[in-house]
Amino acid sequence: MKQQTRTVGIIGGGPSGLALASLLAMKGVDVTVFDDGRRPDLVVGESLVPAVVPVLRKLGLEEKVAAIGLVKPGVSFTMPGKERVNFNFNNVARCNLPTYAYNVPRPAFDRLLDDRATELGARRVRARARLERPAADRLALAPETLAHAPWLQGRQPDLLVDATGRSRLFARTMEIPSTAGPRKDVAHFAHFEGFEENEPRGQVVIGWLEKGWNWRIPLPGRVSVGVVMHRDEAARLGATPEERLENAIARDPILSKAGPDRHRITDVATYTNYQLISSRGYGPGWAMTGDAFGFVDPMLSPGLWLALHSAELLSEHLDDLHGYSRRMRRQLRAWMEMISHYYSGRIFAMYHKGTEYSRRYPHEFCRRIQSHFDVQVACMACGARTQSLYGRTALKVFSSQAVWGREAAALAIR
């Protein structure tokens, strides 16, 4: 198909907007990125999944990301009274992905994306973009925003992209409804010194809490520690985010043991109401990417992957926005489903039982079944096969309530 879209205006200079800018600039599209520069020093999105690595390579950025981050070999889940469930990315070689990902300090990561987009010829405007709505279904840059980009000579770009993250500029301007996820969580997090190193080095640890869960993401010279819980539960822990985070750490035996001499070196950042998917992802002359389109949940760290993948998909479907939106929606639904198996405790019950059976019946057959499921789950949780019909059906059947009912309920994350 002949490319019709020659000029693109991207609103928002986070990972999705900047990756899209680079990918389009590589194709010779005239791109302008409008960003308001309101980036706090502490931003979530520090733990990546292996599927991000091929996109970083495509952008020519892997070496630079490796220099600012830490290699992440996998993720462990801890549960009181149970063995940890260790996911090692070695399994994802079977789905043709690198066997590692990275943990990154977000400001430095975003700067790399920004520099790369500029190097490739994307033009940047440092201003908060404003829009007009010339018709119910249409959007245009407001005159003062357009004036910030004189090279557009007063002409609207062929395509406008909403990459404004949770600001969801287009949805708010056009009053597009969204579907909220089932959880009503609040997350508080900060960077610390004095937490012991996770084993193996760079491994992310997700901890089960009596109510909610926590993360420990090792970064160069520090550890990012966050707690995620229902907002009523968070309120019970203290009046301020600082009190809540500190009390959540102090009350959890595993977390407090990991950081007996902890010392917080940043402010505490707070995020609320983030499970949200827009009911529309495109329209005539506009499309949404990254969090502006939808964000599922932080537990399995799909955010940056979805942000970069949406950029990749949109750059490939610039003149087929319907096809782009359909593919993105499928991704979001598949991740939502995958994550529900973790919150329900079924995946943990399945693992604990699988390990128990393999020990009790150390036959080749049991070993093979367990190894098969390890590979399936790893390939789904790393982004390569999240949508696989076989994987999704197998996971549904083998993790079903009927099989692990009571055990799963005990491991569910409330």
Ligand X SMILES: Cc1cc2nc3c(=O)[nH]c(=O)nc-3n(C[C@H](O)[C@H](O)[C@H](O)COP(=O)(O)OP(=O)(O)OC[C@H]3O[C@@H](n4cnc5c(N)ncnc54)[C@H](O)[C@@H]3O)c2cc1C
Where along the sequence are the contacts to ligand X (CB under 6 A)? 11-17, 34-36, 38-39, 44-48, 128-129, 163-167, 169, 187, 271, 274, 290-292, 295, 298, 301, 303-304, 307
C-beta of residue 34 within 8 angstroms of C-beta of residue 11: yes
Tell me the pairing of strands 294-295 and 286-288. Answer: unpaired
Cβ distance to ligand X smaller for residue 7 or 47 = 47
Q: Integer distance in angstroms from the first to the last C-alpha of the chain? A: 49
The residue whose two tokens read 């959880």 is 183
CB of residue 275 vs ligand X: minimum separation in angstroms? 9
C-beta of residue 22 within 8 angstroms of C-beta of residue 8: no
Cβ distance to ligand X smaller for residue 107 or 405 = 107
Q: Tokens for 307?
A: 């942000």
Cβ distance to ligand X smaller for residue 98 or 303 = 303
DSSP state of 28: T
For 23, 185, 263, the CA distances from 240, given in Å and listed in that order, are 42, 16, 18
CB of residue 356 vs ligand X: minimum separation in angstroms? 31
CB of residue 347 vs ligand X: minimum separation in angstroms? 19
CB of residue 97 vs ligand X: minimum separation in angstroms? 15
Cβ distance to ligand X smaller for residue 167 or 399 = 167
CB of residue 353 vs ligand X: minimum separation in angstroms? 28
Please name the amino acid found at residue 226: G
CB of residue 223 vs ligand X: minimum separation in angstroms? 13
Cβ distance to ligand X smaller for residue 169 or 237 = 169
C-beta of residue 286 within 8 angstroms of C-beta of residue 315: no
C-beta of residue 386 within 8 angstroms of C-beta of residue 380: yes
Residue 234 φ then ψ, to 5°: -60, -40
Cβ distance to ligand X smaller for residue 54 or 354 = 54
